Structure 1
């Protein structure tokens, strides 16, 4: 039995098996790097996504393991980069390999279904599976900004077309591919909701400096200058990134007073920490008409802001790797607020891409992010594509302010 299991394991490491898994992952990941390097070829992107799905329907279980392994690394290697700021550089390769193994096992389980119809259903449902609370793996994303649409029903049409093509052996099977035409994205960008008189602030402060007390005063001054510039430009509102003020802002009485005074002339939205009753929150502060409202994050970053494991394991991991830091606290539900006569949904970084934040199809959203944890990498590009996909699906115009690349207004198709 041991000999048989060892032989079976060795088959996973054959050169053809690994090569085919790697080759298929290039098709499923190309769209991210095309956008990252500003290569916009909608037809080619759509074709690459179709070929990736075809591979996932056809690969053997062992090949599927490697396809999932390499796809996950191409999509999510950047997760490990945050360990640089905990003096845990040695963990980066282990985290990257671990991410690959988790998705490799997930793909292997999908390939274990005995019939292609079951495998097709499993592929269509992948985006509802969130390993360790992480929900950024969405196959429909391969078609965002391509010639095909990225709604879930459009993904199902593409998968169904390919499944029928594979199952039918007659020449007429090529007619099944015509179904893909039903998923073509015919609409154009709707920019009518993006003309609000709002200033988005883009900062570029390295993560190792952001929380260094020596840089606190210059950072605060930079933020105040950005607010003043927006005021000088006669903007009605200004949006600063996540943790733009790297401190517990509710404890800074003088700074709060200055922001409240300025808010009589311009609405100010900024990210900062909030502390209350021994709990810490990653929060959005809304300064408007001389008053302040604090809105807390709802969904935390797995292993960045919370450890998605039982409490005793989470405490052990926090003590071992994060100097005993506690998980952030969260709000019970999403927060909506009024600004310049419109109703906005509040979202902070990671949660801005989650389905929960788009419940009720909000027309407008303010999203603030700090992407310097993961740069240089493709993370800002992947986040931007996810925001675009959610914008398309829910007809939401997103005002996204970041510390790092890609600040801008995201409008739906």
Structure 2
């Protein structure tokens, strides 16, 4: 019994040393340094962007040269990085009447990234030890490599942790830029940006107002001489494929202007998040190909998927999805079409498309840095692939990103 008490006392002492204020403060500072560039980028100021990049580099330096309690510092740093980068994911719970779960989801996000950081530390510090004396000298370099590789771990396919984003907005962003020789389309494109709160978007009492406003914006684009008008994701908050009257109205307007707009579709018992393209009196539906994990699909085995859908989504099944991405063509110019999350996925840019039409609805995460992080990712993919992205969004500024 005496030995057990001594062992318990030793364990408590060791555990309390891990949770010392010094370690927590150090880890918290590391995470701030690794994340501050996201918050600085809101101001679109080159000086702040460079400052954010330098802070990021200093954060990496602090992490790879840590000596005492290194494993626990990597764990806590990863936890805080997950929170600082992705706290906003939990905000969508408000619209499912689970707002009280927001702190728990944010904590869970932190735990996931904390464990990822810890695993990479353990693996790469083991490699350093295997090298013997040389490993001691090279350990910071080996750990820096491990830190770099963390960004290629995508929990449930979610790939928004990207260290390259720290370069965006600085002169160094050109290191991964691909030359874009394509010229702008030879016609005017009107991008529409809206500010409709998520809880209003699907309100029956407000739909008519929103639809009338959308049609007025299309008419305005026609008067402005645009050849193509692009409205955000879910601009028409309805199952548009079943709204024959609205389809006919849009077909008539498409005799004067090509229209790309977001709306849902319902077919054979399945919902789809879709983009609809109208031109010359014809309509084409483009369904989303890559769905948002835990938002539009549950990326888990069926025996886990069903109870989660029952608890959070009223028993609804996953959204349907297309087999691949699609293009539309206007005046001989081809545009690859993407819906929100798809615009930040490397698969979209696999064939280096010249032009991308992206529609988004960021109202799910207002107010937060979600749209800021999304813009950084879009700039990264545009530079890396030599693509021009025309982005129309709800609760994000319309942008031409190149």
TM (norm. structure 2) is: 0.89
Secondary structure (helix, strand or coil) at the match of 1:125 reads helix
- Residue 123 of structure 1: how far off its partner (Å): 2.4
- Residue 126 of structure 1: how far off its partner (Å): 2.4
CA contact (8 A) 1:249 1:256 kept: yes
CA spacing shift, 1:150–1:135, aligned 2, 3 Å: farther
Match of 1:193 in 2: 184
User: 1:9-408 maps to which residues of 2 (within 5 A)?
Assistant: 9-41=15-47, 42-59=49-66, 60-112=70-122, 113-114=124-125, 115=128, 116=139, 117-149=141-173, 192-193=183-184, 196-408=187-399
- Residue 10 of structure 1: how far off its partner (Å): 3.4
- Residue 25 of structure 1: how far off its partner (Å): 0.9
CA contact (8 A) 1:28 1:48 kept: yes
TM (norm. structure 1) is: 0.87
Task: Write the deviation string for residues 27-63 of structure 1: whole angstroms up to 9, x where unpaired.
Answer: 1111111112444314323312221222332331111
Distance in 2 separating the partners of 1:198 and 1:310: 43
- Residue 82 of structure 1: how far off its partner (Å): 0.6
Aligned-residue CA RMSD in angstroms?
Answer: 2.1
Distance in 2 separating the partners of 1:188 and 1:56: 35
- Residue 127 of structure 1: how far off its partner (Å): 2.6
Distance in 1 separating the partners of 2:179 and 2:291: 33
- Residue 190 of structure 1: how far off its partner (Å): 8.8
Between Structure 1 and Structure 2, whose CA radius of gyration is higher? Answer: 2
Distance in 1 separating the partners of 2:204 and 2:215: 17
Match of 2:135 in 1: none
* Structure 2: stretches of 5+ with no match in the other structure: 129-138
Distance in 2 separating the partners of 1:10 and 1:141: 36
- Residue 189 of structure 1: how far off its partner (Å): 10
Match of 2:136 in 1: none
Secondary structure (helix, strand or coil) at the match of 1:309 reads coil
Residues 192-201 or 385-394, more deviating: 192-201
- Residue 316 of structure 1: how far off its partner (Å): 0.5
Distance in 2 separating the partners of 1:206 and 1:328: 22
Q: How many residues align?
A: 378
CA spacing shift, 1:62–1:297, aligned 2, 3 Å: same
CA contact (8 A) 2:50 2:169 kept: no
* Structure 1: stretches of 5+ with no match in the other structure: 155-184
